[in-house]
Amino acid sequence: MAESPRFQPVQPVRAYERIVEQVEDALARGDLAPGQRLPSERELVAQFAVSRSTVREALRVLESNGVVRSRPGDPNGPEILPFSSTALRKQLVRLARVDELTLAELIGFRMIMDGAAIQVASRLRTPAQLTELTDTLTAMRTAIDVDFAAFSEADLAFHDVIARISRNSLIETCNEVVRGVVLSLISNKIAHAPNSRALMLESLQHHTEVVDAIRDGDGTAAARIARQNMYDYYAGYVPEAEREALQALID
């Protein structure tokens, strides 16, 4: 033989995988859209010509991936869900536990992403978007007197506006996911919330400085301030030995 073709290792394809594949392809092609319904399990049994066990295994995988949701008794069948970052977060949490991701790595990640989003935003922002930012600042200010939860919500809204301005939803999705992981790690390790009002005031001050820098159009400064703020906020939870890598992110 002239040349042995490079063969690929082959593993058996299970029936339920073909079903998952077909559903995901239909979703990618647009034949299936969020909000639509899948036929009932027994109907799928007929369409795919397999047993109900097989259909159910496929549905369990799709459900675990956040593609569909089944509810018993629902005559409309399983529902196609809109994308949510839940599954992404789940994988990241797993990565954090199994691969021994440190808190410092997660915070460093957020410092990078948040700083970058603000840098882009200060370049691309329109005057209207700038006032939108200042509006969220006032919303944060009033939320301080209400509740810590309300303040968190206003904070989220702020970052949401930043993400919209920077025209990169991936950044914001990652930010949100990692933020959730960080919070869960911290609340697992440390019972905190000491003097939350002072924290909120400080955070508001920081955000105000960032918006000022964005107004000036100085993206580098805005990003530096944002990273510094996040460092100040979280560094207390990070072992001293790992702080150096975070400080290196600030200049």
- The nearest distance, CB 81 to DNA, in angstroms, is 14
| 123 contact choice in its own copies, DNA, none (CB below 5 to 8 Å, kind-dependent) | its own copies
Cβ distance to DNA smaller for residue 20 or 171: 20
Q: Check residue 127 for interaction with its own copies (CB under 8 A).
A: no
> With contact defined as beta carbons under 8 Å apart, do 123 and 226 qualify?
no
- Restricting to residues 202-221, which ones interact with its own copies according to CB under 8 A? 219-220
Two structure tokens written together for 93: 């949490």
Nearer to its own copies, 104 or 225 (CB): 104
Give the end-to-end CA distance of the chain in Å, rounded to a whole number: 61
Strands (E), the chain: 68-69, 79-80
Measured CA distances, 73 to 40, 41, 46, 77, 163 (Å): 10, 12, 19, 9, 40
Q: Which of 133, 174, 182, 222 binds its own copies (CB under 8 A)?
A: 174
Residues 53-112 that bind its own copies (CB under 8 A): 53, 56-57, 60-61, 64-65, 67, 72, 82-83, 85, 87-88, 90-92, 94-95, 97-99, 101, 104-106, 108-109, 112
CB of 11 to DNA, least distance (A): 9
> Any contact of residue 3 with its own copies (CB under 8 A)?
no
- Number of residues near its own copies (by CB under 8 A): 57
Sign of CA dihedral 150, 126, 111, 96: positive
Contact 200, 147 (CB under 8 A): no
Other beta carbons within 10 Å of 9:
4
Residue 42 contacts which entry, its own copies, DNA, none (Cβ below 5-8 A, type-dependent): DNA
Measured distance CA(31)–CA(11) in Å, rounded = 29
Residue 178: Cβ within 10 Å count: 21
Q: How far apart are CA 207 and CA 229, in angstroms?
A: 9
Contacts to DNA by CB under 7 A: 12, 14-16, 40-43, 49-54, 56-57, 59, 70-78
* Number of Cβ atoms within 10 Å of the Cβ of 171: 19
Applying CB under 8 A, the residues found at the interface with its own copies are 12, 16, 24, 27-28, 34, 53, 56-57, 60-61, 64-65, 67, 72, 82-83, 85, 87-88, 90-92, 94-95, 97-99, 101, 104-106, 108-109, 112-113, 116, 119-120, 123-124, 166-171, 173-174, 219-220, 242, 244-245, 248-249, 251
